[in-house]
Amino acid sequence: MKTLFKTVLAGAIAASVTMSMATTADAKKIRWKMHSAFGRNLAVIGPPPHRIVEAIKKMSGGDFVIKVFEPGALTGGYAYYDPISQGAIDAAWGTPGANQGKNSAFAFLSTWPFGPGAPEFLAWMMRGGGIQLAEELYARDNIKYLFCGMIPPETSGWFRKKITSLDQLKGMKMRFFGMGAKVMNKFGVSTQLLAAADIYPALELGTIDATEFSMPAIDRSLGFYQIAKFNYFPGWHQQATTSEILVNMDKWNALPEKYQVMLTQTCLANTAEEIADGEYEQFDAMLQNQKDGVELVDWKPEQLAKFKAAWDEVVKDEIKDNPDAQKVWASYSAFHEKYKVWGKRAYLHLED
């Protein structure tokens, strides 16, 4: 009996130690859910969150694992601000412009008409105070902001009919993002913000007459070329657009510092990847669009000048009653004045 008792006791102690060790090991493991505003199948902007979480999983030895969910699985594509703030979702991948309904200042941290190209925008965000301004704004609602990428210019629209005069825009229904929508409103366009998956059906059914969404490779994956045969350039409304990862602040503060560094640095690495992918994937898509009957059309200088004049009116209205927007705009404007000393002299325009 004594031998049996000792055997049972030894087994119980071993099991207890094993369970304790397992519990301690499990306690070190972190499991998050991340919403993505963009489907994985979308070129350039779809893959990054998956690339980021895979890198973090490998660097952490599997102790920090983030599962990415497609739009609609946890919340709607752009509807991630409140769930992150409230802690219903741990993290989200998107762009600050998705949150401009909460505060129009977020639009100026994402993209705006006749705004900077990627090099200047990147310099302002990382060295000129843009990231710090974003962090301050999001922190008010218990959200940690991570600057997490940037894409090059977009196209400025897909139209069923060729636009030879801006007068043709009057009465048109168009999907449009960000501050550019307010410029189009000045020309009599009725704009609405549709999620990526909703645009093609709206075009097909005639609910909208035209659309913009992103760069040629991304737009091609959404099939716009099948319906709207006139694709306009340049993307005056989005010369560059930032990406973000938002994290619930409580979850961020509870995260070990080494994982905070992993997320921050992986986001910065993704910025280089996004810009490279954005520049690399467009020309083949444009050439294929042409083969499929799409006409690539350039806005005339006088038309761009009218868009610019309308934007100058819009930006004044947008910042006059919003101190946050005033602060962000003043920061960028001061940076831009200094940057012009370099920027106007440094770059050649692309020639044939």
Q: What pLDDT digit, counting tens, does each position of 241-266 carry?
A: 999 999 999 999 999 999 999 999 99
Contact 229, 160 (CB under 8 A): yes
pLDDT value for 9: 43
pLDDT value for 4: 43
112 in a structural domain: yes
pLDDT value for 351: 58
Weakly modelled stretches of the chain, pLDDT under 50? 1-2, 4-10, 12-25
Backbone angles phi, psi at 244, to 5 degrees: -140, 155
94 in a structural domain: yes
311 in a structural domain: yes
pLDDT value for 54: 98
Residue 326: domain span: 30-341
The predicted model scores a pTM of 0.89
22 in a structural domain: no
3 in a structural domain: no
350 in a structural domain: no
CATH number at residue 192: 3.40.190.170
Backbone angles phi, psi at 132, to 5 degrees: -65, -40
199 in a structural domain: yes
**Bond prior to 234 in cis (omega within 30° of 0):** yes
Structural domains in the chain (count): 1
